[in-house]
Structure 1
Amino acid sequence: MEEKKIVSIEDRIPKLKEARKKKANRRLLFYLSIFFLLIAAIIYLQSPLSNIKHIEVTGNKIISDEEIIQLSGLSPETNIWVINHKQLKQSIEKNPLIKEIKVKRKLPQSVQIQISEHKIVGYVKSELEYHPVLESGMIINKHNISNKGDGPLLINFDDEEYLKRMAKELGEIPDHIFNLISEISWEPTEKNKYKVVLYMNDGFIVHATLRNFASKMKTYPSIIAQLDEGEKGIVHMGVGTYFEKLEK
């Protein structure tokens, strides 16, 4: 029978003390690390290193970067960690041209404001001024637009209901067709309150209706493509679609 090795308590005590000492040192080091990290975080949050250094505005075509930044209320004195996203969005949305906003922190010291604007679908004339009409039908009477967008002149739309409907339909037209429209005149009759007359940049006139206007206008290029070169006239896009040649 093998003899068991006997270790006395006196021999184990130094090893136990050493193990406890190492464990205590590791625990102290952990707490000191946490402490210094907290101190560093406090110093960082109270220093200019946590302030916004750069504001990037993207997606805006009509409203200037400067105006959006001014509406946001952000400045080099703003701490990047105390930005109130909800309040910032509400401030920028005071501009009726704004459709959607997204705000992102880009560490260490940048903020990105992503903008989606309502499309300008036309202009109405008031005395000597032209005011943009948004796809929502809203007329912007007082607003500083840095880059005037392209859009047709909307004539005789003195009824808000029909203006809004026209604006909605224009917002659904592809750009390559939208850019062909120079003027749109609302010319209601007793039988058809939805009648509109379009004057196109390519020299054609279009008699159409507000009902399904966008879907019918999508066929405009294919209709014109079937005509002889140099031929001009009226494209009727009401109940039926046909071409009426104008006599020279």
Structure 2
Amino acid sequence: MTKQKVISIEDRIPKLKQIRKKKANRRLLLLLSVFFTLILLVVYLQSPLSKVAEIHVKGNKLMTKQEIIEQSGLEIGVNIWTVGKGKAEEVLLKDDRIKGASITAGFPNDLMVAVVEQNEIAYAARKGGLYPVLQNGKILSEPVSGAPLQLPILYDFKEGKALDLFAEAAETLPSEVFNTISEVYYEPKKNDSLHIKAFMTDGFEVSATLSTFAEKMVYYPSISTQLNPDVKGVIDLEVGSYFKAYDPAQQQETSEEAEEEAETP
């Protein structure tokens, strides 16, 4: 039989005491760490470092920084961790001018409000001036101040289906086509409640229906370039496409050729 080494209890006691002492020290160190962490947390929460010191805003053009801050409900001096960023984002998204909003905390105690605004696609002509029309089909209540952008001016449009369809066309049409639209008049007919008359920057007039406006206006450049630039008239896109000159004499000379060339595929 092999001999087993026998360790006496007297030899084991010092080692057990040492192990217990190390465990006790670790527990004490852990308790002290938790205690001082809590103390630091309480001090931090009571200090100015936990309060919102400044609110930054970016991405705004239609709205001022102050408008966005006031609308969000954010305030300087409140606790940065209980400021309610999610609720403030929801409030901002209720504004017709805003289609995206995010609020983040920055170091050490600033807030950053980033907004994505609706694009302006046109101006609605009303008494008192020109009112911005947004890509979501909303018309702002305040007229444009300063020099307006090079956007189409809309007459007799109200918020609703007709304006929504025009807004869709503004989003889908190539910019080189949409930018040639100067003025648009909403002129509903008995057989077409969505009829419009558009005046182009090259001097031609377009008669169309908003239900197919975006689809057919894609072909406008190829149609207009085949017409005599000195003979102005109406390009009718309601059913098919044909050209009618303002001057009947010119119309008789050019009608057959223009009607053939202006037809879309």
TM interval, shorter chain, is 0.7 to 0.9
1:93/1:228 CA distance change after superposition, 3 Å: same
Q: How does 1:132-211 map to 2 (within 5 A)?
A: 132-142=132-142, 150-157=150-157, 160-211=160-211
List alignment gaps of at least 5 residues for structure 1: none
The size of the alignment, in residue pairs, is: 248
In the other structure, the counterpart of 2:120 is 120
- Is the aligned partner of 1:5 residue 2:5? yes
Alpha-carbon displacement from aligned partner over 1:8-56 (angstroms, at most 9, x marks no partner): 1111111110110011101111121122112212222222212334433
In the other structure, the counterpart of 1:40 is 40
1:232/1:55 CA distance change after superposition, 3 Å: farther
Q: Distance in 1 between matches of 2:43 and 2:239?
A: 73
Q: Distance in 1 between matches of 2:221 and 2:36?
A: 70
My pick for the range that moved more, 203-212 or 44-53, is 44-53
Point out which structure has higher relative CO (alpha carbons under 8 A, 6+ apart): 1
Q: Distance in 1 between matches of 2:53 and 2:118?
A: 29
Q: Which amino acid aligns with 2:126?
A: S
**Equivalent residues of 1:119, 1:171 under 8 A apart:** no
1:69/1:154 CA distance change after superposition, 3 Å: same
My pick for the range that moved more, 60-69 or 225-234, is 225-234
**Equivalent residues of 2:139, 2:159 under 8 A apart:** no
Q: Which amino acid aligns with 1:154?
A: L
Query: How far did residue 85 of structure 1 move?
Result: 2.7
Q: Which amino acid aligns with 1:50?
A: S
Percent of aligned positions with the same letter in both sequences? 39
Query: How far did residue 91 of structure 1 move?
Result: 3.3
My pick for the range that moved more, 76-85 or 55-64, is 55-64
- Is the aligned partner of 1:214 residue 2:214? yes
Secondary structure at the residue paired with 1:88? helix
In the other structure, the counterpart of 1:49 is 49
Alpha-carbon displacement from aligned partner over 1:48-68 (angstroms, at most 9, x marks no partner): 212334433333332223321
Alpha-carbon displacement from aligned partner over 1:147-176 (angstroms, at most 9, x marks no partner): 955532211336854344434443443433
Question: RMSD of aligned C-alpha atoms?
Answer: 3.0
Secondary structure at the residue paired with 1:154? strand
In the other structure, the counterpart of 2:260 is none
**Equivalent residues of 1:98, 1:118 under 8 A apart:** yes
In the other structure, the counterpart of 2:255 is none
